[in-house]
Chain A
């Protein structure tokens, strides 16, 4: 079964750094794009960016480019989303999801990582 498993929930303070993960299994991780998506409380899904683990090609949504860094470790079949300095507005559920091509639908999805940023 092709799965994406995300790291657990996080509670952080403003200004702290954070790196969450998304591990793929049941398929060749390097051959598919992994996207990151945000869902703020009560809001719609937003696409943040995508990485191709095979060569680390990245595409960011300009709305997120200055706030987060996306990376991947092909040897670990894991993609990452990180912040250097969290803000309260980063409170959200973050999902990873696989794409077959850059212009393609998302599936499967990870279960989501809840990030709460509060002083």
Chain B
């Protein structure tokens, strides 16, 4: 199975900050990577697919980059509603696997 390693595991930032979350795959997954936002009591939300494509309806302050084994999720100008846990996921190979998650809160 492909291992996905996410960092940091938790993060505290201020409103307006730029936040970056890293995700590393144990083998080359090309651009077959997505990012999700999970908030308690809500359906998980797809943010980014194919490493850098923004899902329709997702604010433009979210962006993704990377290919191969190294990927980054960036949130520019952090907003209070961005408090959530973020996960990366590879879909290059079955079984699909997720990172351990990054819990983001506001300072």
Q: Mark A57-80, 1 if CB is under 8 A from B, else 0.
A: 001011100000000000000000
Check: A86 CB closer than 8 A to any chain B CB: no
A119 within 8 A of B: no
Chain B hits for A59, CB < 8 A = 94
Report yes or no: A46 in contact with B46, Cβ–Cβ below 8 A. no
Q: How large is the interface on B (under 10, 10 to 19, 20 to 34, 35 or more residues)?
A: 20 to 34
Nearest-neighbor residue (CB-CB) of A98 within chain B: B46
Question: CB-defined interface of B30-42 with A at 8 Å, one 1/0 digit per residue?
Answer: 0010101000011
Q: Report if A44-B101 is in contact (Cβ < 8 Å); known contacts: A105-B46, A105-B89, A106-B46.
A: yes
Say what secondary structure dominates the interface of chain A: loop
Cα(A86)–Cα(B91), bound, Å: 29
A111: contacting residue among B42, B46, B50, B93, CB under 8 A: B42
Q: Does A95 contact B (CB under 8 A)?
A: yes
What's the Cα separation between A107 and B50 when bound, in Å? 13
Chain B interface mostly: loop
- Please tell me if the beta carbons of A107 and B95 are within 8 angstroms of each other in the complex: no
For A95, list chain B residues within 8 Å (CB): 43-44
A45 and B87: CB pair below 8 A?
Answer: yes
Task: Give Cα A111–Cα B96 distance, bound, in whole angstroms.
Answer: 20
Q: Quote the shortest CB–CB distance from A54 to chain B (angstroms).
A: 19
Q: Could you list which residues of chain B lie within 8 angstroms of chain A, going by C-beta atoms?
A: 32, 34, 36, 41-46, 49-50, 55, 87, 89, 91-101
* Interface residues in chain A, defined as those with a beta carbon under 8 Å from any beta carbon in chain B: 4, 35, 44-47, 59, 61-63, 95, 97, 102-112
